[in-house]
Amino acid sequence: MPVPRERSARSARLRPRRSAAVAAALVAVAVSVTTGAAPAPHAVPEAHSASASHFASAEAAGKRAGLQEVMFVGNNWEGTADVIGSSGSFEKLGRIDVVPDRQQRLDEIYANPIKLAFFLGIRNGPGEGHDQLVDDMYSTPDGTSMVVSRPSFADVVSIDVRTGKINWRFPVSGFRSDHMAVSPDGERVAVSASTSNTVHVLDIDTGEEAGSFATGDKPHENVFTDGGKRIWNMSIGDVQTDTDDPWLDWTKGDRKITVVDAETFEKVEVIDMRERLDAFGRKDFSDAVRPVAFTPDESKLYFQVSFFNGFFEYDVAADKITREKVLPKNPDTSEDRTTWVNDSRHHGMSMSPGGDKLCVAGTMDDYATVVDRESLAEGPLVPASKPYWATVSGDGKSCVISEAGSDRVTAIDFASGEKTVSVPVGDHPQRVRLAHVPEGWSSPAGG
């Protein structure tokens, strides 16, 4: 992908309306933000140190003798990660407790009024009445550890997949951690710190911070591009308010795509999708960029936005939106935007390895579908209960979605667009990531 040029930036299953108690908690949270109160980020060794082994790339790690390719499934409300096969039958291989230190973290939170306010705000906001105990996960290149972001605990931890013990813990700045991304060589992991508008980049083996950078309001998705030389961050703004009418979109915050140099963490460019959407004739659409998918050559970016049943195509070199795809609505889905989870209508997309198919999770419309990238024609609408994420199987043949509403992971064949297999997992699965564990791996004791 060519180095982008500098661009100027312009400065249960449905979410209920908030109760007075929740509103009060959120007010307390907002007040605490103005005080600047936040834990200082640093890596805290716990139990034992992580392995210092590195491989040339994540792909090389998968081919190394002694490792087996799997998928990690983060069960957000349960605080576990299921380990399943990466293709074929996607059989369940085991489970890892990602909050073995739960009581210690809760003791810290309940002893600190500001932390407690945020903790309860997360529970009653994005958690839909539940604690958010695992958001994102990746394996280390040597397959010995799982690195996990834990929103309600505002941290990232490395967990030994054989013992279940914590190697290191990194408290993020602010009070909530979110989406992560791992560099192509597997050596670094980038994590969004939602409430401090910061992305931290950590050494995946030690948890030490390599650097950080500022983002727009509420950083969300992270993507490494250009062979790991760039990091793209998409900020989504405030998705917890009920000011969801299009004319109130300006109240949602300063949302932008921030692109930085992955070594220096200096900004390379800032992309304001508000300007690009306006130029495309979509002034009434939200500019909160949600999940994204790049083409293999990184010339095109496909992205979802809040409240939209569909996605857009963005030409990176031309710096403009070139196409829009509107996907079918489910007639049973309420048109009251305040009932849509975290301002999402559709949330989750992935691209086939050849770049010819897109897989889209229609979260609030209860389906997923495979879209032909050339024609933008959608395939069969595969029924799914609150599909929350979409990724690609290890063999590249299937789109794999998490069904948060039915606690399942489902595979959809890219070629036919049809469902092939569905397997049960834990409570409220969200992120699904390709990973590696040692051959013959089994769950840690108590996992």
Q: For residues 321, 323, 324 and 325, what is the CA-based torsion angle, rounded to 10 degrees? A: -140
Residue type at position 78: E
Distance CA 203, CA 201 (A): 7
Q: What's the pLDDT score for residue 38?
A: 44
- The tokens for 121 are 């705000």
Distance CA 439, CA 266 (A): 40
Distance CA 2, CA 225 (A): 10
Distance CA 220, CA 298 (A): 20
Q: What's the pLDDT score for residue 240?
A: 83
Find out if CATH 2.130.10.10 is the number for domain 20-438. Answer: yes
Q: What's the pLDDT score for residue 198?
A: 98
Distance CA 345, CA 339 (A): 10
- How are strands ordered across the β-sheet holding 349-351? 349-351, 357-362, 367-372, 382-383
- The tokens for 116 are 């407690």
Beta bridge partners of 408: 403, 424
Q: What's the pLDDT score for residue 56?
A: 36
Q: What are the boundaries of each domain within the chain?
A: 20-438
Q: What's the pLDDT score for residue 44?
A: 52
Q: What's the pLDDT score for residue 249?
A: 87
- 184 and 224 Cβ atoms separated by less than 8 Å: yes
Q: What's the pLDDT score for residue 67?
A: 96
Distance CA 435, CA 217 (A): 30
Residue type at position 59: E
pTM of the model: 0.86
For 336, counting Cβ atoms within 10 Å of its Cβ (0-12 exposed, 13-18 middle, 19+ buried), the class is exposed
Walking along the chain (447 residues) 10 residues at a time, the average pLDDT comes out as: 33 36 40 39 44 37 77 98 98 98 98 96 92 98 97 98 98 98 97 98 98 97 98 94 87 95 98 96 95 97 97 98 98 93 94 98 97 98 97 98 98 98 98 97 84
